[in-house]
Each structure stands twice: as structure tokens, then as C-alpha cells.
Amino acid sequence: MPPHDRRRARVAFSDAAAKQLEALTDEAELHALDRALVVLSVDPEIGEPIPGSTDGPQLRQYADDVERVRLLYFVTALKTVVVVAYIEV
């Protein structure tokens, strides 16, 4: 299937990430975060695996140096949901 025909993964937030999101008020930071979340929804495997436990889903890190956004996340088994665990803008 060509990449443009793939469905995007749904993005969900852990409770901690949701609180971080609520604290963001700067428009530029929100825009940068939105762009990073779109990237993850299109290609959930784009981030680097974080070494550690092999129990459960692999924790990954996506960093966009241009937008200065860093996200820690994992992808569900069916690769349909990206759960963001940590947000740094």
C-alpha cells in the first residue's frame, strides 16, 4: 500500500502528558507540538527506541530539532494508537 493510502494512527495522551498539554499557552509552542503530533500519527515508528525494559510496548522518543519538540511515546500493538507519555516544548 502506498504511504499516502495508509491511515493515520490516533494520538492519545497519558494523564501526565495531558496535564503538560493543559499547561501550554504559547501559540508557537502549541503549533510546534501539533506539527510533531501529525508526524507521529503519519509514521509512528519515526522515533528512536529508548533502551530499557522489554516488558510491554517499546518506549520511543521523537525529537524535532527545528520545532524544538521532544515526545516520549509508545505505539499500541495494532499500531493504530500512539500514546504520548511526555511532552517537552
CA–CA dist 16, 19 (Å, integer): 5
Mean pLDDT in residue range 14-32: 93
**Please, which residues bridge with residue 87 across strands?**
71
Q: Which three cell numbers stand for residue 1?
A: 500500500
Question: How do 60-64 and 69-75 pair as beta strands?
Answer: antiparallel
How long is the chain? 89
Residue carrying C-alpha cell 520511543: 60
Over the chain, what is the mean pLDDT? 88
Which helix (H) or strand (E) segment holds residue 20: the answer is helix 15-23
**Residue 1 pLDDT level (bands cut at 50, 70, 90):** very low
Q: Give the domain 3-88 fold.
A: YaeB-like fold (3.30.2310)
Query: What type of residue sits at position 16?
Result: A
Instruction: Check whether 56 has a pLDDT greater than 80.
Output: no
- What is the reported pLDDT for 61? 94
- What is the reported pLDDT for 3? 56
